[in-house]
A and B are shown apart, each in its own frame.
Chain A
Protein backbone atom coordinates (compact mmCIF):
# COMPACT_ATOMS: atom_id res chain seq x y z
CA UNK A 1 0.00 0.00 0.00
CA UNK A 2 1.01 3.63 -0.38
CA UNK A 3 3.33 5.23 2.14
CA UNK A 4 2.20 8.68 3.21
CA UNK A 5 4.47 11.22 4.85
CA UNK A 6 2.69 14.02 6.64
CA UNK A 7 4.22 17.03 8.35
CA UNK A 8 4.35 18.67 10.73
CA UNK A 9 3.44 15.93 13.15
CA UNK A 10 2.27 18.46 15.68
CA UNK A 11 2.19 22.18 16.22
CA UNK A 12 0.99 24.75 18.72
CA UNK A 13 -0.26 27.90 17.03
CA UNK A 14 -1.57 31.27 18.10
CA UNK A 15 -5.16 32.10 17.29
CA UNK A 16 -5.57 34.16 14.15
CA UNK A 17 -2.59 32.60 12.41
CA UNK A 18 -2.51 29.93 9.67
CA UNK A 19 -0.82 26.55 9.43
CA UNK A 20 -0.05 24.60 6.27
CA UNK A 21 0.08 20.82 6.51
CA UNK A 22 1.93 18.84 3.86
CA UNK A 23 1.18 15.35 2.61
CA UNK A 24 3.60 13.43 0.38
CA UNK A 25 2.76 10.03 -1.15
CA UNK A 26 5.34 7.58 -2.48
CA UNK A 27 3.28 6.80 -5.58
CA UNK A 28 1.04 8.71 -7.94
CA UNK A 29 -2.59 8.84 -6.87
CA UNK A 30 -5.57 10.48 -8.47
CA UNK A 31 -7.41 11.56 -5.36
CA UNK A 32 -6.18 12.68 -1.97
CA UNK A 33 -8.46 13.19 0.99
CA UNK A 34 -8.21 15.40 4.05
CA UNK A 35 -9.94 14.51 7.32
CA UNK A 36 -10.34 16.19 10.68
CA UNK A 37 -10.53 14.33 13.99
CA UNK A 38 -11.63 16.53 16.83
CA UNK A 39 -10.58 15.50 20.34
CA UNK A 40 -12.21 12.23 21.34
CA UNK A 41 -14.25 12.14 18.14
CA UNK A 42 -14.40 10.24 14.91
CA UNK A 43 -13.01 11.33 11.55
CA UNK A 44 -14.85 13.76 9.30
CA UNK A 45 -14.00 14.30 5.66
CA UNK A 46 -13.01 17.89 4.94
CA UNK A 47 -12.38 17.76 1.22
CA UNK A 48 -11.22 15.70 -1.72
CA UNK A 49 -8.26 16.96 -3.75
CA UNK A 50 -7.91 16.00 -7.38
CA UNK A 51 -4.82 17.07 -9.27
CA UNK A 52 -5.52 19.81 -11.76
CA UNK A 53 -8.85 20.90 -10.37
CA UNK A 54 -10.24 22.66 -7.35
CA UNK A 55 -10.84 20.62 -4.26
CA UNK A 56 -14.35 19.45 -3.46
CA UNK A 57 -15.43 20.44 0.05
CA UNK A 58 -17.89 18.67 2.31
CA UNK A 59 -20.78 20.41 3.96
CA UNK A 60 -19.57 22.61 6.77
CA UNK A 61 -16.11 23.18 5.31
CA UNK A 62 -15.21 26.11 3.06
CA UNK A 63 -12.26 26.94 0.88
CA UNK A 64 -11.52 30.23 2.62
CA UNK A 65 -10.99 28.41 5.90
CA UNK A 66 -9.31 25.27 4.54
CA UNK A 67 -7.58 26.07 1.24
CA UNK A 68 -6.07 23.02 -0.42
CA UNK A 69 -3.40 22.72 -3.07
CA UNK A 70 -2.72 19.70 -5.27
CA UNK A 71 0.16 20.63 -7.55
CA UNK A 72 0.97 17.09 -8.68
CA UNK A 73 -0.05 13.46 -8.28
CA UNK A 74 2.06 12.81 -5.17
CA UNK A 75 1.63 15.94 -3.05
CA UNK A 76 -1.05 18.03 -1.39
CA UNK A 77 -1.29 20.70 1.26
CA UNK A 78 -4.09 21.74 3.59
CA UNK A 79 -4.02 25.16 5.22
CA UNK A 80 -5.99 25.90 8.34
CA UNK A 81 -6.59 29.65 8.16
CA UNK A 82 -7.34 32.26 10.80
CA UNK A 83 -7.22 29.62 13.49
CA UNK A 84 -9.30 29.56 16.65
CA UNK A 85 -9.18 27.10 19.57
CA UNK A 86 -12.07 25.19 17.94
CA UNK A 87 -9.66 24.20 15.15
CA UNK A 88 -7.60 22.16 17.61
CA UNK A 89 -7.77 18.69 16.10
CA UNK A 90 -5.81 16.00 14.38
CA UNK A 91 -5.72 16.50 10.62
CA UNK A 92 -5.05 13.46 8.44
CA UNK A 93 -4.50 12.95 4.77
CA UNK A 94 -5.51 9.75 3.03
CA UNK A 95 -5.23 8.04 -0.33
CA UNK A 96 -6.97 5.08 -1.85
CA UNK A 97 -5.26 2.03 -3.29
CA UNK A 98 -7.36 -0.25 -5.49
CA UNK A 99 -6.29 -3.36 -3.58
CA UNK A 100 -5.62 -2.08 -0.09
CA UNK A 101 -8.33 0.49 0.40
CA UNK A 102 -7.70 3.77 2.11
CA UNK A 103 -4.47 4.41 3.99
CA UNK A 104 -3.77 7.36 6.24
CA UNK A 105 -0.87 9.59 7.01
CA UNK A 106 0.49 9.81 10.53
CA UNK A 107 -1.59 12.91 11.22
CA UNK A 108 -0.91 16.47 12.36
CA UNK A 109 -1.92 17.27 15.91
CA UNK A 110 -2.83 20.94 16.02
CA UNK A 111 -3.34 22.91 19.21
CA UNK A 112 -4.53 26.51 18.93
CA UNK A 113 -3.95 28.73 21.93
Chain B
Protein backbone atom coordinates (compact mmCIF):
# COMPACT_ATOMS: atom_id res chain seq x y z
CA UNK B 1 0.00 0.00 0.00
CA UNK B 2 1.34 3.37 -1.00
CA UNK B 3 1.97 5.70 1.92
CA UNK B 4 2.88 9.36 1.61
CA UNK B 5 4.46 11.18 4.52
CA UNK B 6 4.76 14.92 4.52
CA UNK B 7 6.57 17.10 7.02
CA UNK B 8 6.32 19.36 8.71
CA UNK B 9 2.55 19.34 9.10
CA UNK B 10 2.54 22.85 10.43
CA UNK B 11 4.98 25.63 9.70
CA UNK B 12 4.98 29.21 10.87
CA UNK B 13 7.66 31.41 9.40
CA UNK B 14 8.52 35.01 8.87
CA UNK B 15 8.51 36.82 5.60
CA UNK B 16 11.84 36.78 3.82
CA UNK B 17 12.92 33.42 5.20
CA UNK B 18 13.58 30.21 3.30
CA UNK B 19 12.18 26.82 4.13
CA UNK B 20 11.64 23.34 2.72
CA UNK B 21 8.70 20.97 2.91
CA UNK B 22 9.50 17.27 2.53
CA UNK B 23 7.45 14.49 0.99
CA UNK B 24 8.45 10.85 1.33
CA UNK B 25 6.58 7.98 -0.28
CA UNK B 26 6.77 4.27 0.28
CA UNK B 27 6.61 2.59 -3.13
CA UNK B 28 7.92 3.28 -6.59
CA UNK B 29 6.02 5.93 -8.51
CA UNK B 30 6.89 8.01 -11.53
CA UNK B 31 4.58 10.91 -10.80
CA UNK B 32 4.63 13.37 -7.94
CA UNK B 33 2.34 16.36 -7.62
CA UNK B 34 2.28 19.44 -5.44
CA UNK B 35 -0.96 21.31 -4.76
CA UNK B 36 -1.93 24.42 -2.89
CA UNK B 37 -5.21 24.79 -1.04
CA UNK B 38 -6.49 28.05 0.38
CA UNK B 39 -9.13 27.93 3.13
CA UNK B 40 -12.53 26.96 1.75
CA UNK B 41 -11.13 26.46 -1.73
CA UNK B 42 -10.32 23.55 -3.99
CA UNK B 43 -6.84 22.41 -4.97
CA UNK B 44 -4.60 24.42 -7.25
CA UNK B 45 -1.97 22.48 -9.13
CA UNK B 46 1.54 23.81 -8.55
CA UNK B 47 3.93 21.25 -10.00
CA UNK B 48 3.90 17.92 -11.80
CA UNK B 49 7.18 16.01 -11.47
CA UNK B 50 7.52 13.09 -13.83
CA UNK B 51 11.11 11.90 -13.71
CA UNK B 52 14.05 11.41 -11.41
CA UNK B 53 15.96 14.62 -10.92
CA UNK B 54 13.10 16.78 -12.14
CA UNK B 55 13.22 20.32 -10.85
CA UNK B 56 10.54 22.92 -11.49
CA UNK B 57 10.32 26.49 -10.34
CA UNK B 58 7.52 29.00 -10.28
CA UNK B 59 8.17 32.30 -8.58
CA UNK B 60 9.33 31.69 -5.02
CA UNK B 61 8.51 27.98 -5.11
CA UNK B 62 10.77 25.24 -6.38
CA UNK B 63 10.00 21.53 -6.38
CA UNK B 64 12.32 18.60 -6.95
CA UNK B 65 12.00 14.85 -7.20
CA UNK B 66 14.42 12.07 -6.30
CA UNK B 67 12.74 8.81 -7.26
CA UNK B 68 15.58 6.69 -5.91
CA UNK B 69 15.19 8.17 -2.45
CA UNK B 70 11.41 8.40 -2.94
CA UNK B 71 11.61 12.00 -1.83
CA UNK B 72 10.28 15.27 -3.14
CA UNK B 73 10.89 18.71 -1.73
CA UNK B 74 9.08 22.00 -2.05
CA UNK B 75 11.40 24.89 -1.33
CA UNK B 76 10.16 28.34 -0.48
CA UNK B 77 12.52 31.23 -1.11
CA UNK B 78 12.12 34.61 0.59
CA UNK B 79 8.60 33.82 1.73
CA UNK B 80 5.83 36.37 1.41
CA UNK B 81 2.48 36.46 3.20
CA UNK B 82 0.55 35.52 0.03
CA UNK B 83 2.12 32.07 0.14
CA UNK B 84 0.23 31.24 3.32
CA UNK B 85 -1.87 28.15 2.50
CA UNK B 86 -1.94 24.40 2.94
CA UNK B 87 0.40 22.51 0.61
CA UNK B 88 -0.18 18.90 -0.32
CA UNK B 89 2.06 16.46 -2.07
CA UNK B 90 0.39 13.57 -3.87
CA UNK B 91 1.79 10.50 -5.52
CA UNK B 92 0.41 8.70 -8.56
CA UNK B 93 -0.80 5.21 -7.74
CA UNK B 94 0.18 3.79 -11.09
CA UNK B 95 -1.60 3.86 -14.40
CA UNK B 96 -4.67 6.07 -14.17
CA UNK B 97 -5.54 5.04 -10.63
CA UNK B 98 -5.74 8.39 -8.91
CA UNK B 99 -3.56 9.90 -6.21
CA UNK B 100 -2.51 9.20 -2.65
CA UNK B 101 -2.08 12.41 -0.69
CA UNK B 102 0.16 13.42 2.15
CA UNK B 103 -1.46 14.97 5.19
CA UNK B 104 -0.60 18.47 4.05
CA UNK B 105 1.57 21.26 5.43
CA UNK B 106 -0.29 24.18 6.92
CA UNK B 107 1.97 27.14 6.20
CA UNK B 108 1.58 30.50 7.88
CA UNK B 109 3.87 33.34 6.84
CA UNK B 110 3.90 36.25 9.19
CA UNK B 111 4.91 39.78 8.25
Contacts and interface: CB of A to CB of B under 8 A. Distances in A.
B101 interface: yes
A101 B96 contact: no
Give the interface size bracket for A toward B: 20 to 34
Nearest to B4: A42
A37 to B, nearest CB: 9
Nearest to A101: B48
A42 B98 contact: no
Given A101-B31, A102-B33, A45 B100 contact: yes
Contacts of B100: 45
A92 interface: yes
Interface stretch (A14-22, A66-74, A79-87, A103-111): A103-111
Interface of B: 31, 33, 35, 40-43, 45, 48, 88, 90, 96-104
Interface of A: 1, 30-31, 33, 35, 41-45, 48, 92, 94, 96, 100-107, 109
Given A42-B88, A44-B101, 20 more contacts: A31-B98, A33-B98, A33-B99, A42-B101, A42-B103, A42-B104, A43-B88, A43-B99, A48-B97, A48-B98, A92-B42, A94-B98, A94-B99, A100-B48, A101-B31, A101-B33, A102-B98, A104-B42, A106-B41, A106-B42
